[in-house]
Structure 1
Amino acid sequence: MSEQARKFDLNMEEVLEAWGVADATREVIANALDEQALTDTGEVEIYEDDEGRWHIRDYGRGLRHEHLTQNEDEEKLNNPDKVIGKFGVGLKDALATFYRNGVDVTIHSKHETITVEKAPKADFEDIETLHGLIYPPEQDIEGTDVVLDGITEAQIDQAKSNFLRFTDDELLEETKFGEVYASPAGEDSRIYVTGLKVATEENFLFSYNITKTTKQVRDALNRERSNVGRTAYSSRVKDILRECETTDVAQRLVDDFENFTDGTTHDEVNWKPIRLHAVKLLNERDDVVFATVDERHSNADLLNHARADGYRVVTVPENIRNEIQDERDSEGNRLRDVGTYLEEYNESFEYDWVPEDEMTEDEREVWNHRDDILELLNDPPVEEIRVSETIRMTERGEMANGVWDGSEQRIVIRRQQLNSVRDFASTLLHEVAHPRSGGAPDLSKPFEDALTGLLGEVAESAISKQ
């Protein structure tokens, strides 16, 4: 550069020792992306030229030396959800880091060309600080072209990895507060703020991009804009999840808390509002039944029928089971736990009758003993006995072997009880005890008294026939 440069003191004696070349490059990329967002201009380009130099090129208004001042950028502060950067010192720190690491920087715009060197401060020859050398523009271009000589492709890739737009993360859902992404397999989840990675989470199920920031988030974005603490963004992550409306996110959350039995759940499912939201959304959009591990064993018959009816049985911890008992989804439907499904099943139940001519020969032989059994009793209060392939469920979620239908004054026997006279007789006598007790339920004292009385009648009849 033949012309005499004007020296612009950056007032920097020290640089951020923790920063490397990739960190400095991140700042340059962030500035370029911010300019693109603020001016709605063409895509930022990052490429290597024939001489091995890397270019970071935007098509905005062009960098001026005034942008190297210490002040915060008012335009960026007024658009917190549109840009990545916040502090005017970010670019200065980047230039200092490049200088310390032997990376030559040249910045081209239509306004001027800028390089950097160390030089004595004005009137203080014993103090050297980093200066920007300001030359007349060498190129008449739109935007800014930052040329880096001495940087590797690996350092460029490391810098780009801080930006959501340069990843292939799978977008699952977009909300008014931000976006949910599938976490990369085998990698930590990522937390982005307006597209810039600010933290990683080892035990999050998803990655998140916060697009509507809070004061807490903005205040936490320090000069380094990395390693932001969870307290700064956790409330916004919860807001994002609560706004999700697709079953994709809800399904993944529910699938995750099914892993509670082996202790491999992720942190999001430990947040009660998120658990409830996922369950409600899944209940609204899919055919599911929520059951605990114990309920899957104790209500096996009922849940087998649920699966046969097209429902998916979702295993939930006991605490979630308790949380959802009285809850409803956004459409006003009760959350379908085992008790709710049992009610729905019994309300919609229809018998699958087995006519005598469809019974097997062995079944008919057993069936023909029904009058013999009833004759052992004194005036049995039964008008009709029928056989059904299926039958209503008990409160324990088991298919009953028989039921007393008081409205029809009839006993219904489950077909499988025709396997033997003993099974058939025991079920028939059990059901007779219900009308004898005035319709009392199982295990009640009136029912037990009636059943005891029947046993006495049967014994008396058997003895008298000897």
Structure 2
Amino acid sequence: MEKAKEFDLNIEKILENWENYHAIREIIANALDEQILTKTKDIEIKQTSDGWWHIIDFGRGLNYHHLTQNENEEKLNNNKLIGRFGVGLKDALATLYRHNIKVEIKSKYGIIRLKTASKAGFDDIITLHAEITPPNDINMIGTDFCLYGCTKEDIEQAKSLFLKFTKNNLLETTRYGEVLSNTGANSNIYINGVKVAEEPNFLFSYNITALNAQIKKSLNRERTNVGRTAYTSRIKDILKDCQSNIVIEKLIEDLQEFSSGNRHDELSWNDIAMYASMKISELNSKATFITASDLQNTPSLIDNMLRNGHTPIVVPDNLISKIEDYNIGATEGKTLITANQYIIEEQKNFIPQIIDINSLSSNERNIYDKTEKILELIGGRAPNIKAIQIVDKIYENEFFDETVGLWIPDEGRILIKRTQLQSLYKYAGTLLHECCHAISGFGDVSRDFERELTTVIGVLASKAL
């Protein structure tokens, strides 16, 4: 009979915080990887009547060489696999031995059991060894990883860490990974089918199948509690690659939960909120994005939107800024409507009706006839002012402060609302304000306009004194 061989596992560091299910997870991960690599049938996990648990794959069979690798080149070059570094199996064996779980690994290459023995050449140092005996069946297919002493709960807890054994429904597959439904209180984050994190406020669960450098760097020996920063960018890639109605509709619904405070974390990411906004706009060309302050401070604006068939959607201020930036470079027909753009369009579509001077009341006409004398106070009418006209309304709808005067540079016209003719100081103030726009060439809240306004005030003050 062939003599048993002993193999020093040479484990330098034991993962003290690992429980039985962590070790079983590694065994299941190896079996699933072997299934993928060899394209063989599904693995089996079962308990036999003698109390032993069996994790069986139908691949090439494990042998003692697999206990020597620090890195598995075959696995490193395949982004679809769970295992990467070849150390998980040794960690699992050490954990199981520490918890008094009997282990037998059977394949056509032999049977591997665990024992402690002196390190070669150092009798006083006791380490964990693998004892290798001849196989029971040299024609055996695959590997049977046998465990005695673990509980059904250990097995089920280990299985719960794999997408393959959970009830998450697949919603969509993209180039970067899968979007999954949530089945519990928390969302699960998987990498190639193995759970690496939980998220308490995610809209979906995710299985990342295209690993980027950041994820590869963040995967540790334990493959648990991987930080959000490691997988955020890839989840964004997954969501921005989604086209299915079910995922898009859920994103759109969640975006609209901003005002209720029930929005999920994915929609707090500007990239994803922007993607959802674009999808809303594709489905509803009259979707109009507004802020909470628009809703609170300008109810007339919202009422007008609703009357004109628009659908106001409340979003954060920073998303409005991102939408405005996007609109600058967007092609015609692809822009998203914001409150500001809605107002601009409303204003562009309204043509003020000029009032015939002869229809003014005597008091109004008396004030209007002082136009040139008012302009003389600041040196006369500027050459680019071709006309000064009175109108009933400057804009069809006044959503913010009432507009009482307007300089139209392309036409060289100043429009002044008729209400300003109620008193000389109102008319003169509005007229001189618009003249400052005409002379400076700048709009309100600009340094150049303020400089010109200051000059006019100085001229008027010096004349008055």
Query: What's the TM-score once normalised by structure 1's chain length?
Result: 0.69
SS at 2:104 equivalent: strand
Q: Give CA deviations for 1:401-433 in whole Å, capped at 9, x if unaligned.
A: xxxxxxxxxxxxxxxxxxxxxxxxxxxxxxxxx
> Could you say if the C-alpha distance between residues 449 and 245 of structure 1 is closer, same or farther in structure 2, counting changes exceeding 3 Å?
same
SS at 2:116 equivalent: strand
Amino acid at match of 2:208: I
Shift of residue 450 of structure 1? 8.3
Give the distance between the partners of 1:14 and 1:177, measured in 2 at CA.
35
Corresponding residue for residue 304 of structure 2: 302
Please say if residues 303 and 313 of structure 1, whose CA atoms lie closer than 8 Å, have aligned partners that are also in contact.
yes
Residues 20-419 of structure 1: matches in 2 within 5 Å? 20-79=19-78, 81-139=79-137, 140-187=139-186, 189-286=187-284, 288-296=287-295, 297-305=299-307, 312-325=311-324, 327=326, 332-338=333-339, 394-395=396-397
> Could you say if the C-alpha distance between residues 138 and 451 of structure 1 is closer, same or farther in structure 2, counting changes exceeding 3 Å?
farther
Shift of residue 451 of structure 1? 9.7
Query: What's the TM-score once normalised by structure 2's chain length?
Result: 0.69
Amino acid at match of 1:445: I
User: Could you list the runs of 5+ residues in structure 1 that have no partner in the other structure?
Assistant: 349-376, 379-392, 399-442, 453-466
Amino acid at match of 1:279: S
Corresponding residue for residue 366 of structure 2: none
Shift of residue 223 of structure 1? 1.1
Please say if residues 63 and 109 of structure 1, whose CA atoms lie closer than 8 Å, have aligned partners that are also in contact.
yes
Shift of residue 59 of structure 1? 1.1
Identity %: 46
> Could you say if the C-alpha distance between residues 167 and 345 of structure 1 is closer, same or farther in structure 2, counting changes exceeding 3 Å?
farther
Shift of residue 16 of structure 1? 1.3
Give the distance between the partners of 1:448 and 1:186, measured in 2 at CA.
61
> Could you say if the C-alpha distance between residues 13 and 210 of structure 1 is closer, same or farther in structure 2, counting changes exceeding 3 Å?
closer
> Could you say if the C-alpha distance between residues 331 and 108 of structure 1 is closer, same or farther in structure 2, counting changes exceeding 3 Å?
farther
Shift of residue 15 of structure 1? 2.2
> Could you say if the C-alpha distance between residues 153 and 29 of structure 1 is closer, same or farther in structure 2, counting changes exceeding 3 Å?
same
Please say if residues 8 and 119 of structure 2, whose CA atoms lie closer than 8 Å, have aligned partners that are also in contact.
yes
Q: Which consecutive aligned stretches of 4+ in structure 1 deviate over 6 angstroms post-superposition?
A: 341-348, 449-452
Shift of residue 134 of structure 1? 1.0
Shift of residue 263 of structure 1? 4.1
Please say if residues 177 and 209 of structure 2, whose CA atoms lie closer than 8 Å, have aligned partners that are also in contact.
yes
Corresponding residue for residue 445 of structure 1: 416
Give the distance between the partners of 1:229 and 1:201, measured in 2 at CA.
10
Shift of residue 161 of structure 1? 1.4
SS at 1:225 equivalent: coil
Amino acid at match of 1:302: N
Shift of residue 294 of structure 1? 4.7
Corresponding residue for residue 352 of structure 2: none
Shift of residue 266 of structure 1? 3.2
Shift of residue 444 of structure 1? 5.4
Please say if residues 306 and 312 of structure 2, whose CA atoms lie closer than 8 Å, have aligned partners that are also in contact.
no
Please say if residues 9 and 130 of structure 1, whose CA atoms lie closer than 8 Å, have aligned partners that are also in contact.
yes
Please say if residues 82 and 192 of structure 2, whose CA atoms lie closer than 8 Å, have aligned partners that are also in contact.
yes
> Could you say if the C-alpha distance between residues 298 and 320 of structure 1 is closer, same or farther in structure 2, counting changes exceeding 3 Å?
farther
User: Could you list the runs of 5+ residues in structure 2 that have no partner in the other structure?
Assistant: 350-360, 363-394, 401-413, 424-465
Give the distance between the partners of 2:312 and 2:72, measured in 1 at CA.
54
Amino acid at match of 1:235: S
Kindly report the root-mean-square deviation, in angstroms, between the aligned alpha carbons of the 2 structures: 3.5
> Could you say if the C-alpha distance between residues 312 and 145 of structure 1 is closer, same or farther in structure 2, counting changes exceeding 3 Å?
farther
Give the distance between the partners of 2:343 and 2:262, measured in 1 at CA.
31
Count of residues in Structure 1 that have an aligned counterpart in Structure 2? 367
> Could you say if the C-alpha distance between residues 49 and 302 of structure 1 is closer, same or farther in structure 2, counting changes exceeding 3 Å?
farther
Give the distance between the partners of 2:16 and 2:320, measured in 1 at CA.
52
Shift of residue 257 of structure 1? 3.9
Shift of residue 93 of structure 1? 0.9
Give the distance between the partners of 1:249 and 1:274, measured in 2 at CA.
12
> Could you say if the C-alpha distance between residues 4 and 13 of structure 1 is closer, same or farther in structure 2, counting changes exceeding 3 Å?
farther
Corresponding residue for residue 7 of structure 1: 6
> Could you say if the C-alpha distance between residues 121 and 326 of structure 1 is closer, same or farther in structure 2, counting changes exceeding 3 Å?
closer
SS at 1:75 equivalent: helix
